[in-house]
Amino acid sequence: QAYLERIEAVEAQVRSFITLTPEQALRQAEAADRMLATGEAFPLTGIPMQIKDVMCTAGVRTTCASRMLEDYVPVYNATAVDRLFSQGAVMLGKGNMDEFAMGSSCENSAFHPTFNPWDLGRVPGGSSGGAGASVASGEAVYALGSDTGGSVRQPASLCGVVGLKPSYGTVSRYGLVAFASSLDQIGPVGRSVADCALVLEAIAGHDPRDATSLPLPEANYASGIDRGVEGLRLGVPSEYFVEGIEDGVRRAVEQAIATLESLGASVREVSLPSTKYALACYYIIAPSECSANLARYDGVKYGYSDQQADDMWGAMEQTRRHGFGPEVTRRIMLGTFALSAGYYDAYYLKAQQARTLIRQDFATVFQSVDALVTPTSPVVAFPVGDKTGDPLQMYLIDVCTLPVNIAGLPALSVPCGFSDGLPVGMQLIGPHLSEPTLLQIGHAYE
Ligand code: GLN
């Protein structure tokens, strides 16, 4: 009730939800009360949260912030959602996002933008802007987002909350509407590192319905986060502190690094020389996979269908023309081009080779450090409309986060101060499956 009242009070300004589900929330809350009364409760039982509208929820429309899926009501839950529900979680509604998770500001939603609770004239980041803004504004205790190139960490950073992108394969992608299948991962946004650890624990684990889900033993992410940083070796990659990073962001992150050092970690400068290829590599691979994944929206199987045309091909063309917004169309065109005969070797194959170099850089550096510390975003929250006219400027914002997805690694964004009154986030990157170490470092810092 308290969270529904909070939503009632601030949602008209923040606009972090696409769909609100108050009746279902109250029903789930009552069920949670019963679980608590009978002693069957889990850590997240009865805790109200938001789910990004890219994860399927049975009986609740799942739009991906697109006209294409405006009226699409799934018949099943994504595995991550299902796990939360079976542990007594309470869903308040579905979170706003950039259409099909393509964007960095939550301005590409087909319905409405979301605004940053710290300054309503600014963006919350994206694509999981609803997740960042709902947690920062107190509309939800935590949220699930998805991170293909930074979409959990970057909005967390811009909204002054914590965001975790798990190692590829840790959280099932079953029921997560696919954008770029080799990069997508579901992750939590929360007020604290400890909260994110609990949510990860609830959603992680093997799922036979996702062939890329890792068959790992059950992990306990929340216990052990208070082990401190004494003796841990941190690397600061010089390539993440160069052009384009705002002075205030650099200062805040450098200060955070000094704090970690004073807590007992050792810090050294390291180099990841292939970082310079990451942005170009991502913007070939992600659109290529998107062009294949989004081919399914043909007006026949799901969602919007334009029936005005004379024949089948015309209907598909009209459906896609009207169903997709401009950024999604741009990505599909880029990906189709990069994969087409005659260009495949020059673009897609080359990007996959660069991907190998980027992975190797990380593998080499993790032989001598336990984790890397970088800014999450080179900039703080920017004014609404500031970058919508220039897609390349928007792409550049993910320069620090996308190498992590390219290499399938885990990374955590933790608030580390302010620049001109706006939150700054520090990113901790670790080797594959090093979530416990990242959570430990983040918790020691916060
Ligand atoms: N901003 C990046 C993009 O537009 C990453 C998005 C994401 O992580 N979903 O592709």
Q: Sheet containing 266-270: give its strands across.
A: 17-20, 90-95, 48-52, 142-147, 185-190, 162-165, 411-419, 422-429, 371-375, 233-237, 266-270
- The DSSP code for 105 is S
**Strands of 292-387, DSSP E:** 371-375
Is 86 annotated as catalytic?
A: no
Amino acid in the structure at residue 222: A
Tally of CA atoms within 13 A in the half-sphere of 147 that contains its CB: 38
Q: If you measure from the C-alpha of residue 284 to the centroid of ligand 1, how many angstroms do you get, rounded to a whole number?
A: 13
Looking at residue 346, its pLDDT comes to: 94
- Find where tokens 């608590």 sit: 36
Angle of the 278-293 helix axis to the 326-339 helix axis, nearest 10: 100
Alpha-carbon gap, residue 316 to 332, rounded angstroms: 15
Q: If you measure from the C-alpha of residue 350 to the centroid of ligand 1, how many angstroms do you get, rounded to a whole number?
A: 21
Looking at residue 365, its pLDDT comes to: 98
- Which residue among 55, 96, 98, 329 has the greatest number of ligand 1 atoms within 8 angstroms of its CB, and so is best to mutate? 98
303: Cβ below 6 Å to ligand 1? no
Alpha-carbon gap, residue 76 to 59, rounded angstroms: 8
Looking at residue 19, its pLDDT comes to: 98
Kindly compute the dihedral angle of the four CA atoms of residues 306, 308, 309, 314, in this order, to the nearest 10 degrees: -10
- Find where tokens 């690397």 sit: 235
Looking at residue 345, its pLDDT comes to: 93
Is 419 annotated as catalytic?
A: no
Mean pLDDT for back-to-back runs of 10 residues, the chain (446 residues): 98 98 98 97 98 98 98 97 98 98 98 98 98 98 98 98 98 98 98 98 97 92 95 97 91 98 98 96 98 96 91 95 97 96 94 98 98 98 96 93 98 98 98 98 97
User: Domain locations in the chain?
Assistant: 1-266+369-446
Q: Are 402 and 127 in contact (CB under 8 A)?
A: no
Looking at residue 82, its pLDDT comes to: 98
- Which residue among 55, 148, 382 has the greatest number of ligand 1 atoms within 8 angstroms of its CB, and so is best to mutate? 148
Q: Are 101 and 64 in contact (CB under 8 A)?
A: yes
- The CATH architecture one would assign to domain 1-266+369-446 is Alpha-Beta Complex (3.90)
Catalytic residue among 52, 94, 165, 387: 52
Q: CA dist 96 to 63, 85, 99, 169, Å?
A: 9, 20, 9, 24
**Contacts for 27 with CB less than 8 Å, ≥ 6 apart:** none
Q: If you measure from the C-alpha of residue 178 to the centroid of ligand 1, how many angstroms do you get, rounded to a whole number?
A: 12
Amino acid in the structure at residue 157: S
Q: If you measure from the C-alpha of residue 50 to the centroid of ligand 1, how many angstroms do you get, rounded to a whole number?
A: 19
Atom of ligand 1 nearest to the CA of 405: 8
Q: Is the ipTM of this complex over 0.90?
A: yes
Angle of the 22-37 helix axis to the 2-14 helix axis, nearest 10: 150
Looking at residue 127, its pLDDT comes to: 98
